Structure 1
Amino acid sequence: MSNSVPIAFSGANGMVGIGLSQALEQHKDATPLALSRVGADGERQCPDLMNCTDADWHHALKGAQVYIHLAAYLPFGNQTQSYSDDEYNIANCAAAVSALNGFAIAGGQKMIFVSTLGINGITSGQSPFSWDDKPNPASAYATSKYNAETALRARAKQLGIQLIIVRPPIIYGQNVGGKFRQLVDHIKSQRPLPFGTITNMRDMIGLRNFCDVLVALALNTKQWHNPVLVCDREPVSTPDLVKKIANAYGVAPRLINVPRPVFQIAAKLPIIGKAVQRLCDDLRINDQYLRDNCDWTPRFSVQDELDLMAASETHQQNP
């Protein structure tokens, strides 16, 4: 008789969902139950985030012991569309609470909510971000995720469901989109980048490492009372990241030395300031809470993940 744990996850056709499906299929102790918007072969239909009921989620999550909530409206997922504050809150907060309600009705035991490090802020400064920082969401997306965390904690306590909140930084890897995709395309085309003098250090997490964390948390038997911060444990500067991406794609990095005061001025400008801060300032993560409670170490280096990303794109172009 199998002791495999049925683990449902939404967002199955998104970047993390695709990676998580592969990670779960390779794990003998897990049985994946994928929820996608289209409900393709072997997948269940994921309820519409803007128009879902508890009953919809109950139907979708039947038989699952663990549910990983990946479905969300993302800030850079669709370059042709932006969302209002209300749309973010409906899709990312109200829908998550509805999913928890339906999961409880279906007899579920543990929900993992994938939130965002953006709740802590844009940049950490010299002191790494920690789970007990005062929340400082700097975008409508991060605010909607913080609202969801708050509402889910209260509701999970009422329902007796174990809730684990995970706050990842930027996730990179196969099928990456958004600003990271733009950076990769810029480097591949060998256009110059003005980051040669930047000396920052930033934590990220590769797709395979992040999916490993999610599987480990899904199967972990401990009670988690605080948000879980995760990272590769391999901080890189922006110039080093550019060089690693260039190395993965077999091109020469074109880094230009621009005086640091120029970036300090640009960081204060209303339109581009936050983007400049993300690229030029520190973003460090203290993941000690995860280290203390889960036997997980990153299997893949930053270069490993970038190399796989580049190789997969080459294979798609030349099957």
Structure 2
Amino acid sequence: MKGLQVLVTGATGLVGEAVVFRLLLDKRYTPVAAVRATTRLSGLCRIVPFDLELPTGMPELRGIDVIVHCAARVHVMNEKGADGLAAFRKINVEGTVRLARRAAECGVKRFIFISSIKVNGEGTPRNKTFKATDLPAPVDAYGISKREAEDALRQVCEETGMELVVIRPPLVYGPGVKANFLSMVRWLDRGIPLPLGAIDNRRSLVAIGNLTDLVLTCIDHPAAAGEIFLVSDGEDLSTTQLLRRTALALGTSARLLPVPAGLLQAAASMVGKSGIAERLCGNLQVDIQRTCELLGWRPPINTEKALRQTVEHYRDETR
């Protein structure tokens, strides 16, 4: 007997693919992967074509019970101005709304939207946290488009009766992670000295295993409908602590120079990299208490285990 039919968009990305693999392990669900490119999921589950950018690119949704919408135009560093925002809106807002309306027409019961903590803002003051009930304060085009998508989805679901669940993760890491996190692992593995040995900030992260566990919880939990959930590993780290723990997982020592954060930020500002310095030196903490209480959920993977899994995958890929 087949379980709930769950369609996952963006199933070639880090989050979407991980969600599909988790669904494959749980007999309560039958995953369907919506992709626009080739995928290693072929042969493991049903694959349907999907392109969020194209009005004609909607997937087949008949028989689908729940959608987990991971596909998006992701954050692009240093992209500014009206053209950048328009590009994000075309995919992250217009494409998402198009999918949601089609889903409602086809009888999809619940729409889980993977949003971003950037809807809350870029950072938090010292000893303060973002909460799901905070007024949104996105700054960049990506965050603005995610906030607008949330608002538009809420309207669609109010009009149609389809249930909406919004999840706002901070930085996601784990096996297969790319971009800045992968660069950090490579620098540490190569023993490159980094001027990040005196950063006393606090930042929330979420391991891909914890995020996918929350997604599965939200698929049919009655308390999830209509809610916004923040998610993290439940332990906030400084940049210095993260580097040292990652180095430990690699079996090496982090070569960190104790350069004061203020000096780093000043130097970065001089070369037009203040945004990078803020992410390295600033605070971004999320409060997951409401998520845990409403759903009876706890992050199942601790930071050490998640970093080990990340490093093991990196080692396998570089052999």
TM-score, normalised by the number of residues in structure 1: 0.91
CA contact (8 A) 1:229 1:290 kept: yes
CA contact (8 A) 2:265 2:274 kept: no
Is residue 2:31 matched to residue 1:45? Answer: no
Aligned-pair distance for 1:264?
Answer: 4.6
CA contact (8 A) 1:118 1:138 kept: yes
Question: Distance between the aligned counterparts of 2:33 and 2:160, measured in 1?
Answer: 24
Is residue 2:318 matched to residue 1:292? Answer: no
CA deviation digits over 1:138-162, x for unaligned, max 9?
2111111111011111111101110
In structure 2, what is the equivalent of residue 221 of structure 1? 222
Aligned-pair distance for 1:266?
Answer: 4.5
Aligned-pair distance for 1:313?
Answer: 2.7
CA deviation digits over 1:154-204, x for unaligned, max 9?
111101110011100000011111221222222222111111111111110
Aligned-pair distance for 1:207?
Answer: 0.5
Counterparts of residues 89-238 of structure 1 (less than 5 Å): 89-125=89-125, 126-238=127-239
Aligned-pair distance for 1:84?
Answer: 2.3
Amino acid paired to 1:91: I
* Residues 270 and 152 of structure 1, relative CA distance in 2, 3 Å threshold: farther
CA contact (8 A) 1:76 1:179 kept: no
Is residue 2:285 matched to residue 1:301? Answer: no
Which runs of at least 4 in structure 1 moved beyond 4 Å after TM superposition?
266-270
CA contact (8 A) 2:194 2:257 kept: yes
CA deviation digits over 1:51-74, x for unaligned, max 9?
124xx53x4222111100000111
Question: Distance between the aligned counterparts of 1:223 and 1:206, measured in 2?
Answer: 21
SS state at 1:84 partner: helix
Report percent identity of matched pairs: 28
SS state at 1:228 partner: strand
Structure 2, gaps ≥5 residues long: none
Question: Distance between the aligned counterparts of 1:132 and 1:270, measured in 2?
Answer: 37
Bigger mean CA offset, 188-197 vs 41-50: 41-50
* Residues 39 and 191 of structure 1, relative CA distance in 2, 3 Å threshold: closer
In structure 2, what is the equivalent of residue 5 of structure 1? 4
Is residue 2:18 matched to residue 1:19? Answer: yes
Aligned-pair distance for 1:310?
Answer: 1.5
SS state at 1:222 partner: helix
Amino acid paired to 2:5: P
CA contact (8 A) 1:36 1:43 kept: no
* Residues 76 and 311 of structure 1, relative CA distance in 2, 3 Å threshold: farther
Aligned-pair distance for 1:39?
Answer: 6.0
Aligned-pair distance for 1:76?
Answer: 4.7
Question: Distance between the aligned counterparts of 1:270 and 1:98, measured in 2?
Answer: 41
Question: Distance between the aligned counterparts of 1:223 and 1:22, measured in 2?
Answer: 22
* Residues 71 and 235 of structure 1, relative CA distance in 2, 3 Å threshold: same
* Residues 157 and 175 of structure 1, relative CA distance in 2, 3 Å threshold: same
Aligned-pair distance for 1:281?
Answer: 1.6
In structure 2, what is the equivalent of residue 253 of structure 1? 254
TM-score, normalised by the number of residues in structure 2: 0.91
SS state at 2:54 partner: coil
Amino acid paired to 2:311: A
Paired positions, count: 310
Aligned-pair distance for 1:315?
Answer: 2.6
Question: Distance between the aligned counterparts of 2:174 and 2:230, measured in 1?
Answer: 19
* Residues 65 and 272 of structure 1, relative CA distance in 2, 3 Å threshold: same
Bigger mean CA offset, 103-112 vs 217-226: 217-226
Structure 1, gaps ≥5 residues long: none
SS state at 2:7 partner: strand
